[in-house]
Amino acid sequence: MSESLTTVNFEDENGDLITFEVIAQTSKNERDYLLVADPEDDCAYILEATHKDDDTITYRMVDSDDELRSLGVLFDELMEDVDIEFAEE
């Protein structure tokens, strides 16, 4: 990932626009991921870049438990001063 983002806009399944704060960025298996936080609900999420063109990057919310755990470990290693915990739903 070449540019460092500070925020990213994400449209949820209801069409509502959410502005996430970008905590960290990484790549795995030639895919780009963001660890983001929603300042309104005190939760963090992982987004995967699914499409890129000149002006726009499209992201999807990572929701597979196995993928979240794998990426969570990766982000945890990148950010030594942050502990990542998984909420059970």
* Dihedral sign (CA 78, 73, 50, 58): negative
Per-residue pLDDT at 2 exceeds 70: no
Answer yes or no: pTM beyond 0.85: no
pLDDT tens track for 35-77: 999 888 878 899 999 998 888 889 999 999 999 989 988 888 8
The structural domains of the chain, with segments of one domain joined by +, span 7-78
The closest alpha carbon to 47, from 20, 69, 73, 15, belongs to: 20
Backbone angle region of 49, left / alpha / beta, with phi > 0 → left and psi within -120 to 50 → alpha: beta
